[in-house]
Structure 1
Amino acid sequence: MFEKLKNKEAKLSVIGLGYVGLPIALEFARKMKVIGFDIKPDRIEKMKQHIDPSNELEASAFEGCDIKFTSNPEDLKEACFHVVAVPTPINKHNLPDLNPLLSATRTVGKALKKGDYVVFESTVYPGCTEEDCVPVLEQESGLKFNVDFKVGYSPERINPGDKEHTLTKILKIVSGSDPEALEEISAVYGSIIKAGIYKASSIKVAEAAKIIENTQRDVNIALMNELSLIFNRLNINTYEVLEAAGTKWNFLRFSPGLVGGHCIGVDPYYLTYKANELGYHSKIITGGRFINDAMGPYIAKQVVKKLISKGHKINGSRVLIMGATFKENVSDIRNSKVADVYNELKSFSVNVDVTDPHASSKELMEEYGYGLVDKIDKKYHAVILAVNHDEYMKLDEVYFKSITVDDPLFVDVKGVFRGKIREMTYWSL
């Protein structure tokens, strides 16, 4: 298989051209013939013009790539090695939503031929590839697993906004449905990954490895958030405590904050779902999720309390939230916990404006029911720095005072302006 791909005698397809799929497709397209498939024609048209809809890649990233962008599933029949990189979100009940994954799997199944390979990159619970996806491939194709086609799992490790740890520089975990599949899949990915390949002993091990990467971070951040709740009652700054504790060589460096996005705030729910299915009810993981999901409303309530203590009337008071994306320097608003801050403030009849140099006002309106202000032309009772975009790091207290009333509140969620705000009332986690 790898030799055919390398010699351009066969084609590779990537299904799902988001922040994960597009970089993979372009990297492979520098070595072999690639079909880039996405169900959204408008996104395909942008990519044909060398525009990344996720705003992660420059136009130069498309140069020198042998790739055909398409939204026609019939084109997938030209490929014999398929990489599935679609989102795996959760629903409103915090349960796995496999609809995008299974839909993509059905699409691939219809195009599957004898001798083909399918590799899944989407984050799932252990067992999902073989127990949920493979039966769909068999049903749609009429072929037999590990006889007519083979499967692998190679978890994505893309970090949006990170220009240092890019695709080729991150060690790649790969797994296969049998030893031959493992070797072929390793060779295919090894042709583009400079950091090296790690061969997992099984697909389930690879699935589990991916999901605990983000679960571990989630639990550690939850501890920091819980500490911030305690230290707030003690009237000491969490970041000062962490700075002092960090002087010990083996102290792990995590910070409190809003935990959103499509990885840390989602993946643990896939693991707890599977655990519940097996009769085990997680305590630490679900406890961490509870704490992190509660931080948005907590921050909003602290703002309300502090405005009341200043004598400001809450009904009709004005608050500016700076930042709407799930993390700094990206345009991705998926599962942004800034929305929780916004909604909680609105429940107190606070007038809330939101600004963000990276987010799309239209996307925010469609996803959360609010957009961005065109310009800051009001005087606010409080400013909440929710996301540390580089553009905000260039600002100073003079600017923040210029857009606020007398005796305002400055909320610095991540503590980046600690020691720089002296004349405004300052609060951080």
Structure 2
Amino acid sequence: MSLYERIVNREEKISLVGLGYVGMPIAVAFAKKVDVIGFDVSKKKIDSYKNGLDPTKEVGNEVIKKTTVEFTSDEARLREAKFHIVAVPTPVKNDHTPDLTPVESASRTLGRNLTKGSIVVFESTVYPGVTEEICVPILEKESGLKSGVDFKVGYSPERINPGDKVHRLETIVKVVSGMDEETLDTVAKVYELVVEAGVYKAESIKVAEAAKVIENSQRDINIAFMNELSIIFNKMGIDTKAVLEAAGTKWNFLKFTPGLVGGHCIGVDPYYLTYRAEQMGYHSQIILSGRKINDDMGKYVAESTLKQMIKANKQINGAKVAIFGVTFKENCPDVRNTKVVDVIRELEEYGIEVKVVDPVADKEDLWREYRINPYRVEEIKEVDAVIFAVPHDDFKSICLEDIKKMFRTTGYFNIEAMKETAVTSEFVEEDDKNNYVLIDIRGLFDRQDAETAGISYWRL
């Protein structure tokens, strides 16, 4: 009987190593069909899952309460499984070089508990060659087993889109690969148990690794182009969103939009590819140029905010600015590598007090990573500018009149005092209009509505 058949008959188990935004949904999906062990080194995370709580908000608390996944932080439990899926993060260091520490550590942990006849599939995004040249030797060293003889390896890049309730594991075609035809066949059959959209068999592990790393590199380059267009059009006094809507009427126009590019995928993966290219003697031109544009957008947004405040006669040093949304994308609690923090730090350099509002963000991670404590919407008062950085669904109920109530009532000048003098009412009303500065990075509000409401409005 094959390994696949033994898994289906619940004679063997699948293990998930790493239960974050990627690993946990995979574990839950497989648990509907087979026996699954969910392992993570974080006992705190495991305790949350055991208590029916989903800190990632990817599947929800009710699903976690009902799942049959055996959550554990005891690595010895991995010995009970024969099919292992490694889904740990692969970040970059401060110098933008790959940080393979998590995947190396996971390989060591798994290697210590690997048994003969096992298949190990890596899902972490890496540059071509990492699985076979770095992970396999670690597995062999820790287990004392021989790859290709005592155990097999494969690679199937994760394509889960955090916060996306439409494009899920089950609905996205899964790229799979294996070190040989037999392994490829088994890996494909196992994933077909849960992936309704089907699988695509890559011709080699390196091809699958390369396919994943270019997916996000392509998006990064296209968004960088949009960001550059936004910078150009803002200088011209042209609304970028209006331009894109007009251009988008052509059938083959690629509908990307400008924005802050952070997170653990698009803002990271291109550096894995360019790092490997450098090792091979080639210096990237297009990819790194796109990365530079996107990495600098936080500073650009902050500087644009300052310009709008100065135009509105705001005093910069000592001003208060509210930022709505700090996660790296909408409707997702993940704050890793969020570029909204770049905006915050730049504003703080000018002596501005920044108040962050984000009901979605993981508060513990936000404090641990950036020393930021979020405010509630009702606590935002007497500010000089408002920035909507992330278009969470939670913010869609906020209207323009609600925003105007968050501002200082007198702005830079004392309007009430001016009314008591010879200042004309027309001047007072104009100054009152200039009092409201709204920076709408992703275009959550309508420009004309904002300007009609007397708001100084700016967006990418």
* Equivalent of residue 391 in structure 2, options 367, 388, 391: 388
Residues 381 and 405 in structure 2, CA contact (< 8 A), matched pair in contact too? no
Question: Equivalences for 1:232-243 in 2 at 5 Å?
Answer: 232-243=234-245
**Equivalence for 1:413:** 441
Question: Equivalences for 1:315-330 in 2 at 5 Å?
Answer: 315-330=317-332
**Equivalence for 1:357:** 359
Letter in 2 for 1:362: E
- Measured after TM superposition, the shift of residue 363 of structure 1 is 1.9
| Higher Cα radius of gyration | 2
Q: Does 1:426 align with 2:454?
A: no
**Equivalence for 2:163:** 161
Provide the secondary structure at the position in 1 that maps to 2:145. coil
Residues 38 and 70 in structure 1, CA contact (< 8 A), matched pair in contact too? yes
Among all aligned residue pairs of Structure 1 and Structure 2, give the percentage whose two residues are the same amino acid.
54
Residues 54 and 64 in structure 2, CA contact (< 8 A), matched pair in contact too? no
**Equivalence for 2:427:** none
**Equivalence for 2:74:** 72
- Measured after TM superposition, the shift of residue 174 of structure 1 is 0.3
Counterpart CA distance in 2 for 1:382 and 1:269 is 34
Provide the secondary structure at the position in 2 that maps to 1:61. helix
Q: Does 1:398 align with 2:401?
A: yes
Counterpart CA distance in 1 for 2:441 and 2:236 is 18
1:38-87 Cα distance to aligned partner (Å, 9 max, x none): 00111111111221121221233236643211101111111111100001
Counterpart CA distance in 1 for 2:66 and 2:45 is 20
Residues 30 and 64 in structure 1, CA contact (< 8 A), matched pair in contact too? no
Letter in 1 for 2:437: L
Question: Equivalences for 1:8-87 in 2 at 5 Å?
Answer: 8-62=10-64, 65-87=67-89
Letter in 2 for 1:387: V
Counterpart CA distance in 2 for 1:360 and 1:147 is 44
Counterpart CA distance in 1 for 2:295 and 2:449 is 29
Counterpart CA distance in 1 for 2:233 and 2:340 is 22
- Measured after TM superposition, the shift of residue 122 of structure 1 is 0.5
**Unaligned stretches of 5+ residues in structure 2:** 409-431
Counterpart CA distance in 2 for 1:253 and 1:34 is 39
Provide the secondary structure at the position in 1 that maps to 2:384. strand
Provide the secondary structure at the position in 1 that maps to 2:37. strand
Letter in 1 for 2:455: M
Residues 326 and 332 in structure 1, CA contact (< 8 A), matched pair in contact too? yes
Residues 11 and 35 in structure 1, CA contact (< 8 A), matched pair in contact too? yes
Moved more, 99-108 or 354-363: 354-363
* Equivalent of residue 146 in structure 1, options 138, 144, 148: 148
The number of residues matched between the two structures is: 429
- Measured after TM superposition, the shift of residue 131 of structure 1 is 0.7
Residues 53 and 65 in structure 2, CA contact (< 8 A), matched pair in contact too? no
Provide the secondary structure at the position in 2 that maps to 1:379. coil
**Equivalence for 1:264:** 266
Counterpart CA distance in 2 for 1:295 and 1:424 is 23
RMSD: 1.2
Q: Does 1:137 align with 2:139?
A: yes
Question: Equivalences for 1:228-307 in 2 at 5 Å?
Answer: 228-307=230-309
- Measured after TM superposition, the shift of residue 11 of structure 1 is 1.2
Residues 32 and 66 in structure 1, CA contact (< 8 A), matched pair in contact too? no
Residues 51 and 65 in structure 2, CA contact (< 8 A), matched pair in contact too? no
Counterpart CA distance in 2 for 1:288 and 1:377 is 35
Consecutive aligned runs of 4 or more in structure 1 exceeding 4 Å deviation: none
1:377/1:295 CA distance change after superposition, 3 Å: closer
Residues 380 and 408 in structure 1, CA contact (< 8 A), matched pair in contact too? no
Moved more, 417-426 or 19-28: 417-426
* Equivalent of residue 103 in structure 2, options 101, 104, 108: 101
Letter in 1 for 2:379: I
Counterpart CA distance in 1 for 2:111 and 2:214 is 29
- Measured after TM superposition, the shift of residue 182 of structure 1 is 0.2
- Measured after TM superposition, the shift of residue 192 of structure 1 is 1.2
Counterpart CA distance in 2 for 1:209 and 1:61 is 31
1:4/1:226 CA distance change after superposition, 3 Å: same
- Measured after TM superposition, the shift of residue 144 of structure 1 is 1.0
Provide the secondary structure at the position in 2 that maps to 1:320. strand
- Measured after TM superposition, the shift of residue 32 of structure 1 is 1.3
Counterpart CA distance in 1 for 2:104 and 2:30 is 24
Normalising by structure 1, what TM-score? 0.98
Moved more, 366-375 or 206-215: 366-375
- Measured after TM superposition, the shift of residue 370 of structure 1 is 1.9
Letter in 1 for 2:143: S
Counterpart CA distance in 2 for 1:300 and 1:339 is 10
**Equivalence for 1:181:** 183
1:111-135 Cα distance to aligned partner (Å, 9 max, x none): 1111111000000001110011001
